[in-house]
C-alpha cells in the first residue's frame, strides 16, 4: 500500500517527504482554504517536492467547467491528478478527462455503488472517506473491503485511496482491507513512526554507545 500525505501545508510536505516514504499527495478545498494561500501556488510548490501524483480538486460542479479547470490544473504539472466529486457532472467530467489521458481521483465516495460508477467512468483513483463514514457510526473499513472485492471481481483498474484517515489503526486496517493507497495528515505519519519501545531502545543504545572506547 502506498502512503500519501493529505495536506495543503507545504512545510509539512517537505518534512514528511524527507522520510522517503511518501508516494503522492492529496488536498481538498477545505485544506487549501485553511492554508490561507492561493490554490495554484500551493499545488505548484507541492508538485515540486514530491515527484508523484498530486490530487488537486476542482471547485465547479458543472461538467464543462470541471473539465476546463482540470485542463488548467494539468498545465501546472503532469503530476496533477484532477480530483472530482462523485456527481453526475463529476462522472461525466471524469469520462471526458480520462478520454484525454488525464488521471482523475473521484472523491467524496461513501458507498460501493459510487465506487462502481467512478470505475466505469474510468477513474484512475476513487477515494472512500473512512473517517467520515465512521463518524456517522457506519463501518468505513467495510466500505474499503467491499470496493476492493468489487474491483477485483470485475477486473476494474481503478485504485482505492483510503481517505479521511484519522489514526494509525485506520492505516493498518486499510492495508489489510486491500486499499492501494492510504492518504493521511502529517500528524498520522508522526503517530505511525512512534513506538515507546523504539524510544526506550534508542535511549539505552545511545547511553551504552557513550561507553565505547
Binding mask 94-123 for ligand E4P (x = CB under 6 A): -------------x----------------
Catalytic site residues?
Answer: 83
43 CB neighbour count, 10 Å cutoff: 23
Positive/negative CA dihedral, 69, 71, 75, 76: positive
For cell 490554490, the residue is: 39
Secondary structure in 3-state letters for 68-92: HHHHHHHHHCCCEEEEEECCHHHHH
Partners of 109 in the beta sheet? Answer: 128
CB of 101 to ligand E4P, least distance (A): 22
51 CB neighbour count, 10 Å cutoff: 12
52/131 with CB nearer ligand E4P: 131
Q: How many residues bind ligand E4P (CB under 6 A)?
A: 11
Q: Decide: is 7 part of the binding site for ligand E4P (CB under 6 A).
A: no
126/202 with CB nearer ligand E4P: 126
Chosen residue from 13, 91, 129, 171 binding ligand E4P by CB under 6 A: 129
26/158 with CB nearer ligand E4P: 26
Binding mask 159-178 for ligand E4P (x = CB under 6 A): ----xx--------------
Q: How far is CA 116 from CA 113, 125, 146, 147, in A?
A: 5, 11, 11, 8
CA 93, chain centre distance (Å): 20
CB of 174 to ligand E4P, least distance (A): 12
CB of 201 to ligand E4P, least distance (A): 32
CB of 94 to ligand E4P, least distance (A): 15
Chosen residue from 29, 48, 131, 178 binding ligand E4P by CB under 6 A: 131
Q: Decide: is 85 part of the binding site for ligand E4P (CB under 6 A).
A: no
* Interacting residues with ligand E4P (CB under 6 A): 6, 26, 28, 107, 127, 129, 131-132, 163-164, 183
Amino acid at each position: 500500500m502506498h502512503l500519501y500525505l493529505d495536506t495543503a501545508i507545504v512545510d509539512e510536505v517537505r518534512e514528511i517527504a524527507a522520510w522517503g516514504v511518501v508516494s503522492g499527495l492529496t488536498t481538498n478545498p477545505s485544506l487549501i482554504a485553511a492554508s490561507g494561500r492561493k490554490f495554484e501556488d500551493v499545488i505548484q510548490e507541492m508538485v515540486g517536492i514530491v515527484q508523484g501524483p498530486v490530487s488537486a480538486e476542482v471547485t465547479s460542479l458543472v461538467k464543462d467547467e470541471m473539465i476546463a479547470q482540470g485542463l488548467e490544473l494539468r498545465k501546472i504539472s503532469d503530476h496533477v491528478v484532477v480530483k472530482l466529486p462523485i456527481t453526475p457532472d463529476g462522472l461525466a467530467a471524469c469520462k471526458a478527462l480520462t478520454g484525454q489521458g488525464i488521471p482523475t481521483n473521484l472523491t467524496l465516495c461513501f458507498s460501493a455503488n459510487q465506487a462502481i460508477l467512478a470505475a466505469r467512468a474510468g477513474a484512475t483513483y476513487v477515494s472512500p472517506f473512512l473517517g467520515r463514514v465512521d463518524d456517522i457510526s457506519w463501518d468505513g473499513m467495510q466500505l474499503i473491503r467491499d470496493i476492493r472485492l468489487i474491483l477485483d471481481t470485475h477486473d476494474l483498474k481503478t485504485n482505492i485511496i483510503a481517505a479521511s484517515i484519522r489514526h494509525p489503526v485506520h492505516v493498518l486496517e486499510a492495508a489489510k482491507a486491500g486499499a492501494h493507497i492510504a492518504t493521511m495528515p502529517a500528524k498520522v505519519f508522526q503517530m505511525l513512526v512512534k513506538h515507546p519501545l523504539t524510544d526506550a531502545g534508542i535511549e539505552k543504545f545511545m547511553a551504552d554507545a557513550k561507553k565505547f572506547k
